[in-house]
Amino acid sequence: MNRETTFVAAATVVVVASLVAAAVVPGALADPTDDGPLRPGPVHVEEVPIAPGAATGETATLAVEARLEHRGNPTDNVTVLFRAIDSESNLVETSRTVEVGTLTGDRETPVRANLTVAREGGYEIETIVFRDGERVADATRRVSGLEALTPAYADSNVVFAESTALQPVSVSVGSAEGDRVSLDLSGALTNEGDTPTGDLEVTFVVRQAESNVVADRVTVPVGEIRAGRTSTVDASVTVPAEYNYYVDAILWRDDVHVDSAQSVANLDPTERISANVTEQEVEFEVEDFESDDEETTAAEDGGTYGADSQTTTPGFGVAVAVVALLATALLVRRRSE
């Protein structure tokens, strides 16, 4: 057997062995262009918008949306953790995990969750992105003033009107009988919504200013108020005279407090109060500043006298004049002797 034949036979054996190995052991022959497993694309938290959701008397729901920016190769097994941390205590109030799955392409993907927290104070809203259980991105937003969110049961488009020309609650004195006086009360209500509204009532509470004792109260229904219109509701109460009163007006809808306003009734001539400030007036007494017409009053600079300054010596009174007359009489008598 010559050299060429031997070489061909050996090459044939190598090829056959390689084919057998490839058939028996998959992947024994590697693709020279294969760089191994694909590297997952990067993920970033682009922004986290937060919107108020439903509110009750005790809780508020925050609608949180994390916008995830993805580039490059697919990224598998992605999850997002949302959690609300109390700003004062740094305790986790609530949390929620959302399974995202696989992110592909060069795009943003929104991930949404609702977090229900106590309707008070403020919170740090953390958004943490995990890939295969490993943190790869995060973001933090702060919310505060949740107590300002209005519960659904107290939400109303009707409020007490406030303007320079129109007072929310006005008070006028009606009739008086003995030590009792009637007050005519009026509340101005504005419908700030787009539809007519009704099923409302207003309670007027009249409190004596110093003691805070309720002198009288009355509740009256409110008629339908068209959209964008202002209407008034009137009532009358009877209270003791010569006192000052706070007049509270409370707007109700189906026994739920919707809005309130306050005014005052000043019936005491020596005192005056306002809805926000209480002030005490000192009664003016004329006699404290009254002078005797027969006496001459000089200014502190000594330049002004009374109207009869030509006949009366400044600074001398009647007693001094009598003494002067007696001294003159004695002097004349001595000379005569």
pLDDT computed for residue 18 by the predictor:
63
Selection from 200, 247, 205, 253 nearest residue 222 by Cα: 200
> Model's pTM, two decimal places?
0.53
Look at 27 and 211; give whichever has higher pLDDT: 211
Tell me what percent of the residues of the chain surpass a pLDDT of 70: 69
Domains 43-148 and 156-280 share a fold: yes
pLDDT computed for residue 255 by the predictor:
84
How far is CA 291 from each of CA 288, 295, 304, 308, 315, rounded to the nearest angstrom?
9, 8, 15, 14, 15
Look at 31 and 129; give whichever has higher pLDDT: 129
pLDDT computed for residue 150 by the predictor:
80
Looking at residue 150, what DSSP letter applies? P
Indicate the pLDDT class of residue 12, thresholds 50, 70 and 90.
Answer: low
Q: What is the mean pLDDT of residues 202-225?
A: 92
pLDDT computed for residue 132 by the predictor:
93
**pLDDT above 80: residue 280:** no
Angle at 271 between CA 270 and CA 276, to 5 degrees: 165
pLDDT tens digits, 325-334? 555 555 545 5
- Write the DSSP assignment of 227-296 as a string of letters: TT-EEEEEEEEEEESS-EEEEEEEEEETTEEEEEEEEEEE--TTEEE-SS-EEEPPPP-GGGG---TTSP
What is the fold, at CATH topology level, of the domain defined by 43-148?
Immunoglobulin-like (2.60.40)
> How many Å apart are CA 17 and CA 248, to the nearest integer?
101
**In the block, which residue shows the tokens 């986790």?**
92
**pLDDT above 70: residue 28:** no
Q: Which CATH number fits domain 156-280: 2.40.50.140, 3.50.50.60, 2.60.40.10, 3.40.50.720?
A: 2.60.40.10
The domain segmentation of the chain, as residue ranges, is 1-30, 43-148, 156-280, 292-337
**pLDDT above 60: residue 222:** yes
> How many Å apart are CA 256 and CA 267, to the nearest integer?
32
Q: What is the mean pLDDT of residues 273-281?
A: 52
> How many Å apart are CA 305 and CA 26, to the nearest integer?
130
- State phi, psi for 327 to the nearest 5 degrees: -65, -40
Listed range (51-60, 140-149, 312-321) with the worst mean pLDDT: 312-321
pLDDT computed for residue 284 by the predictor:
26
Token pair of 35 as six digits: 């760089």
> How many Å apart are CA 337 and CA 264, to the nearest integer?
85
Q: What is the mean pLDDT of residues 266-276?
A: 71
Selection from 214, 216, 185, 215 nearest residue 202 by Cα: 185
* Cβ neighbours for 37, distance < 8 A, ≥ 6 positions apart: none
Q: What is the mean pLDDT of residues 35-59?
A: 87
pLDDT computed for residue 291 by the predictor:
35
pLDDT tens digits, 306-327? 334 444 444 444 454 544 555 5
Angle at 323 between CA 320 and CA 328, to 5 degrees: 125
Indicate the pLDDT class of residue 191, thresholds 50, 70 and 90.
Answer: very high
Look at 195 and 324; give whichever has higher pLDDT: 195
118, 89 Cβ separation under 8 angstroms: no
Listed range (35-39, 207-211, 227-231) with the worst mean pLDDT: 35-39
**pLDDT above 50: residue 295:** no
**In the block, which residue shows the tokens 């109303």?**
156
Q: What is the mean pLDDT of residues 58-75?
A: 94
List b or e across 291-317, with b for residues whose CB sees 16 or more CB atoms inside 10 angstroms: eeeeebeeeeeeeebbeeeeebeeeee
Average pLDDT of the residues of the chain: 78
79, 130 Cβ separation under 8 angstroms: yes
* Cβ neighbours for 71, distance < 8 A, ≥ 6 positions apart: 41, 42, 106
Q: What is the mean pLDDT of residues 180-198?
A: 91
